[in-house]
Amino acid sequence: MDISLDLLTNNLWMIMVMAFILDVALGAIFQIAFIDELLQSTLTKGIKNIIVIGLSFLLVVKMPELKIFTGMKVQLPQFIHILLSAFILARFANLFHDLFSFLKRRASGGGM
C-alpha cells in the first residue's frame, strides 16, 4: 500500500507541474491585449476552458506518465483512465489560473 500511495503522490505532482506549465503557456497567449479583451465575456471564458480540457486530453494521450494511476494496481478502461487524468490536469490548470488571478488582484489593491 505504501508503494501505491507513493506512486499516486508522484503522479499527482507530475500532473500539478504540467498543469502549471499549461496555465503559464496559455496565460502567455491569452495576455495578448486583443485576446484579453475578448475573454471578458462568459462565452470566451467557456471557449478557454474547452481549449484547456482539449490540451489536457492531448497531453495525457501523448505523455502516458500523466495518467493518474500509472504504475498502480488500479485497473480502469484506457479511455476512462485518460479522460479522468485529463480532467484532473485541466482542473489543476484552472486552479493555478484562479490563484494567479487572485494574487494579481491582491497585488494591484483590488482585494478579494
Mean pLDDT, residues 27-38? 66
Q: Does residue 96 contact residue 78 with C-beta atoms inside 8 Å? A: no
Q: Tens digits of per-residue pLDDT, 83-109? A: 888 998 988 888 888 888 888 888 887
Output the pLDDT for position 61.
92
Alpha helices (runs of H) in the chain, residue ranges in sequence order: 2-30, 33-38, 42-62, 78-107
**Integer Cα distance of 53 and 59 in angstroms:** 10
**Cell numbers 496555465 correspond to what residue?**
23
pLDDT of res. 16? 87
Confidence of residue 47 (pLDDT cuts 50, 70, 90): confident
According to the model, what pLDDT value does residue 62 have?
92
pLDDT at 2: 61
